[in-house]
Amino acid sequence: MAYDLTGKVVAITGAGSGLAQAMTIGLAEAGATVVALDVSESNLSETMNMAASSGASGNICPHVFDVSDEAYCSGAVSFALRECGGLHGVINCAGLGMNFLDPDFHSRPVRFWEADTVRWNKIIDVNLRGPFLLAKAAAPHLLEQKWGRIVNVTTSFNTMIRGANMPYGQTKAGLEAATNGWSEDLEGTGVTANVLIPGGAADTRMIPKESPYDRSKLVKPQVMIAPARWLFSSDSDGVNGMRFIGRDWDPDANWRDAMKAAGAPVAWPDLAAGAKAGQPAKMT
Ligand SMILES: NC(=O)c1ccc[n+]([C@@H]2O[C@H](COP(=O)([O-])OP(=O)(O)OC[C@H]3O[C@@H](n4cnc5c(N)ncnc54)[C@H](O)[C@@H]3O)[C@@H](O)[C@H]2O)c1
């Protein structure tokens, strides 16, 4: 399904690489104005160069920023409103992987007691605290506008709980839980909170060249584009507290069929669905 997102302004973190880079270019090609946020100026330049080849760079406002810093997050919202024509939502995609904790983590698993505390803190700051800071900064404007989207990029459930994968896994479990809580806080406001994930290890910088994966089998970052475009269209109005898997989203299908195939309630579905229906939790 093709969408014309002209007039929509979307802020994306981590826009200089990987999944967010693909969504930045894909949303800009669909006509949206994209506020491309990244701590790395050289990564942002790479995105702008790639977007230039498809003529979409004119729709992208690059902005160097650190998602773990509250002043940068409120500054990014002001920048979007002042310089980019508004703000219709944020995609929290910037993240640090286990390679930030230890570049050799693929060959030598890092147990939790071996983790460097400063690096551990930074992963929590970027992956978990950062999405909160940006969503908090954006929420007042989105609520006043009575239309908006918060899209959080988490990960597969097994990745959240695997050994030798902390604190990466726990940040993503925390963000998944937060998305359910935020969706309840936002219910009925016109602003929604949902999760979007690729659906497996994806071919980005986060998966280093030395990793044991067959790169040809990694999920392509471009699987994020079609569901991201839909999430910023009016077709997804009222879709709140859901989790979408990019790999399972058929870009050629009717959006209702694509949503059904790729979507489920966010977080731990039995618990979240039960809580929404006012039923007692099955687990404590
Ligand atoms: N690659 C995968 O297999 C995979 C799978 C599931 C989920 N994810 C999640 O998707 C998101 C994107 O991952 P990716 O694979 O595209 O990673 P990537 O490493 O290719 O890109 C991450 C980007 O985030 C930026 N960044 C890092 N710290 C930042 C900060 N403090 N402020 C602003 N920007 C910052 C980096 O400069 C980089 O451009 C992450 O949250 C990741 O956890 C990735």
Q: What is the pLDDT of residues 47-70, one digit of tens each?
A: 999 999 999 999 999 999 999 999
pLDDT at position 211: 87
Mutate to test the pocket of ligand 1, among 204, 211, 219, 225 (most ligand atoms within 8 A of CB): 204
User: 105 C-alpha vs ligand 1 centroid, how far in Å?
Assistant: 17
User: 216 C-alpha vs ligand 1 centroid, how far in Å?
Assistant: 20
Specify the CATH number for 9-276; select among 2.40.340.10, 3.40.50.2000, 3.40.605.10, 3.40.50.720. Answer: 3.40.50.720
Q: In this structure, what is the dihedral angle of CA atoms 64, 70, 71, 72, given to the nearest 10 degrees?
A: 10
pLDDT at 22 over 80: yes
Tokens 């100026």 -> residue:
41
Entry field: residues in the chain: 284
**SS3 category, 197:** strand
Report cis status (omega within 30 of 0) of the bond before 167: yes
Model confidence band, residue 272 (pLDDT cutoffs 50, 70, 90): low
pLDDT at 281 over 60: no
Residue ranges of domains in the chain: 9-276
Q: Which of 97, 74, 96 is nearest to 87 (CA)?
A: 74
For ligand 1, whether the C-beta of 224 sits within 6 Å is: no
Overall pTM > 0.85 = yes
For ligand 1, whether the C-beta of 152 sits within 6 Å is: no
| pLDDT tens-place string over residues 217-229 | 999 999 999 999 9
Tokens 């009575």 -> residue:
146
Q: Whose CA is nearest to atom 30 of ligand 1?
A: 66
| pLDDT tens-place string over residues 69-126 | 999 999 999 999 999 999 999 999 999 999 999 999 989 999 999 999 999 999 999 9
User: 14 C-alpha vs ligand 1 centroid, how far in Å?
Assistant: 6
pLDDT at 284 over 80: no
Q: Which of 176, 79, 168, 186 is nearest to 126 (CA)?
A: 168
What mean pLDDT is predicted for residues 208-220? 92
What mean pLDDT is predicted for residues 36-50? 98
Mutate to test the pocket of ligand 1, among 90, 92, 93, 225 (most ligand atoms within 8 A of CB): 93
Model confidence band, residue 188 (pLDDT cutoffs 50, 70, 90): very high
Please give the C-alpha separations between residue 204 and each of 2, 18, 112, 131, in angstroms, as whole numbers: 26, 5, 25, 20
pLDDT at 180 over 80: yes
For ligand 1, whether the C-beta of 165 sits within 6 Å is: no
Amino acid at 48: M
pLDDT at 202 over 90: yes
Ligand 1 atom nearest 171 alpha carbon: 43
